[in-house]
Amino acid sequence: MKKRPGPPKRELYALLQVSPEATDEDIRKAYRHWAQVYHPDKYQDFHVIHFFCLF
């Protein structure tokens, strides 16, 4: 099985702002939190809305 290219795991933890020793529950909570923050229908900040309109 070939290894897929991608960011190192440390970067993924940093993206969610959790430590590599975080529990599964902590990772789920952080993911859900950031999913809501950056959801275009929930977050009304101009800069984030502009960011999503670019794609």
pLDDT at 53 over 90: no
Is pLDDT above 70 for 54?
no
pLDDT for 38: 75
Give the span between the Cα atoms of 33 and 38, in whole angstroms.
Answer: 9
d(CA 16, CA 3): 23
Q: Where do the domains of the chain lie, and which CATH numbers do they carry?
A: 9-53 (1.10.287)
SS3 at position 42 = coil
Q: What is the pLDDT of residue 11?
A: 83
At 51 the pLDDT is 62
Contact status, residue 42 vs residue 36, Cβ threshold 8 Å:
yes
pLDDT tens for each residue of 1-40: 566 666 676 788 888 899 999 999 999 999 999 888 777 6
pTM of the model: 0.58
Tokens of 19: 């430590």
